[in-house]
Amino acid sequence: MTARLGPYQGYRLVLSHAASQPDEPVPARADLDVARRVLTTEANGLRSLAAGLDDTFGRAVALLAAVTGRIVVSGMGKSGHVAHKVAATLASTGTPARPPDRLPRLPQAI
């Protein structure tokens, strides 16, 4: 397996073992080690994110809370997929939002 896995580089061994020898189960200990590393990686990411929060976060929340119409969420490519998810999340919490596919295709029309 040669895919780039970012912070999950160490998991390549477990995944390739399972793929190359499907009849042999991966030891349960290896599964626990992988689960602990994933949780530790994610926890470190959340700590880093929390440390980077400043007053701009509060201002962004206040701006979004003050909106009286729809919030337009946009993006192209992968960021467009993320925009769809953000718009769906906003809509599910009672904040009307428009995903990119409902917008005109030309940036000048927005």
Residues 33 and 63 in one domain: no
Residue whose token pair is 């970012």: 6
In a domain, 109, yes or no: no
Instruction: Specify the number of domains making up the chain.
Output: 2
CA distances from 73 to 54, 60, 107 (A): 22, 14, 13
- Residue 18 is encoded by which pair of tokens? 């399972």
pLDDT digits (tens, 9 = 90+) for 44-64: 999 999 999 999 999 999 998
In a domain, 26, yes or no: yes
Put simply, whether the predicted model's pTM sits higher than 0.85 gets the answer no
Residues 15 and 40 in one domain: yes
CA 78, CA 88: separation in Å to the nearest integer?
16
Residues 93 and 80 in one domain: yes
Domain that holds residue 82: 56-102
Angle at 88 between CA 42 and CA 7, to 5 degrees: 20
In a domain, 21, yes or no: yes
pLDDT digits (tens, 9 = 90+) for 53-93: 999 999 999 998 899 888 988 888 888 889 999 999 999 99
